[in-house]
Amino acid sequence: MAILLLLLLGNSLEMQIGARGVLLLYFGGSLFAAIALLIVAGSSAQPFTGSFNAVSAITGGYFMLQKPLVQKYWFNLSGYYSRILQMLALWFAINIAFNLYTPLEQMIPLIASSMGAFAYGCLAAQPIYKWITADNRN
């Protein structure tokens, strides 16, 4: 599934933020997934590796750089932070659906690492976009 998401979203995202931006999201997502995994299951002996967490960051970045069809505000937050919360809720629901039959002790670290990477992608997409576009103007 990770490679399918990367194929579908990666090219479009690369046109917006360039290869450097995609690499920043990819490797930053891996780092934040590892941090989230360390916080949630630091003593776990089971390895959790793979590209899905890094692709989660790319997915979050892609979603945040797209223009929303309808803007709904949550908890009197600005549109930007409301959208981040909405995307996190959606990604959490998708992760629960994909891991529905996974035992709970394995599900929690999987979801935590994916959510950490996705949150990084959501939060880092706009600053990376501004940095890349400002860099291209010079």
pLDDT by position in tens, the chain (length 138): 778 888 888 888 888 898 899 999 999 999 998 888 888 877 765 666 667 888 999 999 999 998 876 677 777 887 888 888 989 999 999 999 988 888 888 888 888 889 999 999 999 999 999 998 886 666
13-24 confidence digits (pLDDT tens): 888 898 899 999
User: How would DSSP label each residue in 55-82?
Assistant: HHHHHHHHHHHSPPSS----TT--HHHH
pTM, entire model = 0.87
Dihedral Cα 114, 118, 124, 128, nearest 10 deg: 100
Give, to the nearest 10 degrees, the angle between helix 52-65 and helix 2-41.
110
Distance between CA atoms of 63 and 12, rounded to whole angstroms?
11
Dihedral Cα 115, 117, 119, 124, nearest 10 deg: -170
